[in-house]
């Protein structure tokens, strides 16, 4: 090998080393676009997996709490837990301790706070007080006021014995994240008659889980359903005679 040959050989080797040490611009762009395509494919799938995981946790929260209601009733001559206004500070409402949140503490296997928040619940009221009532949010879930039996002049259904159809009688709903119900622990479905979609939305987060909400019933089960399935007034209704297609809140007509 002449000196020139050696020089050429060394140059070729150096060139090869240089080639192997990095990528050309084209290779880099191809790699980046493949990664971008993979991310675009995987992200929605990951988001969906997270959403269905959170929905499962929410349903489980409602099932555990509503099963605790049944255990509570066994020890209280079939009576159901009450409702109250809740505060994370010192009790501010006269009937805070009457809330299901406190009544059921001893009937769940965990700290009741751990199952009182839906993982999709992003309400600002967990951190910031409602200026109107001074309360913060303590629970994501609301009991059904028809069952609390504390409204004067109102039919009292605060006993399992008074329920004709427990598997169709609602116990828990998902509280609206904003507005005056965001810091409550119960809903008033008896006030929905005049404009059900709007009235219900003021009290319940109707689209909490991919456009739908979760509800539990007094046989201990919980399930997703649109508003129409749990509360719907028939077209032939008159003011004095409501033709219910669905009303899972009022025990008298729950079906
Ligand atoms: Zn939820």
Ligand 1 centroid to Cα of residue 120, in Å, is 6
Least confident of 18-27, 84-93, 216-225: 84-93
Ligand 1 centroid to Cα of residue 119, in Å, is 7
| pLDDT tens, residue by residue, 135-161 | 899 999 999 999 987 655 566 789 999
Domain ranges of the chain: 3-247
Q: Is the pLDDT of residue 17 over 60?
A: no
Ligand 1 centroid to Cα of residue 215, in Å, is 9
Report the predicted TM-score, pTM, of the whole model to 2 decimal places: 0.82
From the list 251, 61, 92, 47, the residue with the least C-alpha distance to 175 is 61
State phi, psi for 227 to the nearest 5 degrees: -55, -40
Helix (H) or strand (E) holding 39: helix 25-75
* Tokens 């201990």, residue located: 220
Ligand 1 centroid to Cα of residue 26, in Å, is 47
Ligand 1 centroid to Cα of residue 25, in Å, is 48
- Which residues surround the ion ligand 1 when the cut-off is CB under 5 Å? 58, 118, 174, 208
> Distance between CA 102 and CA 84 in Å, rounded?
10
Ligand 1 centroid to Cα of residue 224, in Å, is 9
From the list 69, 50, 57, 215, the residue with the least C-alpha distance to 141 is 215
Q: Give the dihedral of Cα atoms 85, 90, 94, 99; nearest 10 deg.
A: 40
The set of residues, in sequence order, having a beta carbon less than 8 Å from that of 109 and lying 6+ positions away, is 64
């Amino acid at each position: 090998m002449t000196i020139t040959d050696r020089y050429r050989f060394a140059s070729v080797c150096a060139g090869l080393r240089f080639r192997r040490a990095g990528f050309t611009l084209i290779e880099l762009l191809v790699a980046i676009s493949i990664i971008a395509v993979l991310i675009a494919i995987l992200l929605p799938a990951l988001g969906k997996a997270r959403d269905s995981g959170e929905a499962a946790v929410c349903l489980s929260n409602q099932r555990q709490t509503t099963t605790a209601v049944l255990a509570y009733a066994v020890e209280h001559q079939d009576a159901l837990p009450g409702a109250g206004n809740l505060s994370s500070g010192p009790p501010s409402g006269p009937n805070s301790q009457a809330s299901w949140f406190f009544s059921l503490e001893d009937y769940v296997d965990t700290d009741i706070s751990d199952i009182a928040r839906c993982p999709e619940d992003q309400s600002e009221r967990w951190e910031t007080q409602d200026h109107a009532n001074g309360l913060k949010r303590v629970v994501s879930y609301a009991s059904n006021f028809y069952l609390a039996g504390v409204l004067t002049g109102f039919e009292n259904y605060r006993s399992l014995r008074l329920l004709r159809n427990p598997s169709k009688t609602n116990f828990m709903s998902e509280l609206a994240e904003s507005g005056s119900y965001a810091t409550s622990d119960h809903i008033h479905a008896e006030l929905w008659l005049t404009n059900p979609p709007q009235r219900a939305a003021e009290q319940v987060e109707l689209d909490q889980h991919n456009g739908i909400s979760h509800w539990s019933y007094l046989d201990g089960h919980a399930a997703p359903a649109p508003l129409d399935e749990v509360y719907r007034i028939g077209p032939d209704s008159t003011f004095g005679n409501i033709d219910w297609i669905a009303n899972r809140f009022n025990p008298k007509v729950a079906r």
